Structures are given as C-alpha cells and as structure tokens.
Amino acid sequence: MSAISIDDQIACVLRELRMRESVYPRWIGTGKVTAEKSAHELACMRAVLDTLQALKREREPGLFE
C-alpha cells in the first residue's frame, strides 16, 4: 500500500468531524452517547486535525527557503 498524503489525511479528518457534528446531537437525544462523551470525542478529533495541520506546515518550505 502506498503512503497516504498529509492532505488526504487532513481531508479525511475534516469529513469525520463533519459527520460526527451531524450525528452526535441525534445520538445524545437517543441516549446512545452522553453530551460529555461527544464533546470529548469532537475535541480529540479537532486535536488530530490540529496535529496534522501543524505537521503539514512544518513540512512545507518557507517563503525564503
């Protein structure tokens, strides 16, 4: 399997975040997940996104490099 690009990874995390933001309110309403758990899971996914975006910035050459 070939390496998955950082851009593809970021796009995947963004899709996952949008899906969770859409689904979690319904799941909270049905008792499938608590509000606290959903908030924690969303915070974790946002942290993953932040990490990937920071890694991408570190890998990109600067303007004067």
What is the tens place of the pLDDT at every residue in 46-64?
Answer: 999 999 999 999 988 776 6
CB 59 within 8 A of CB 5: no
What is the tens place of the pLDDT at every residue in 1-49?
Answer: 789 999 999 999 999 999 999 999 999 999 999 999 999 999 999 999 9
| CA distances from residue 29 to 24, 35, 63 in whole angstroms, order as listed | 8, 9, 49
Tokens of 19: 């899906």
Model's pTM, two decimal places? 0.84
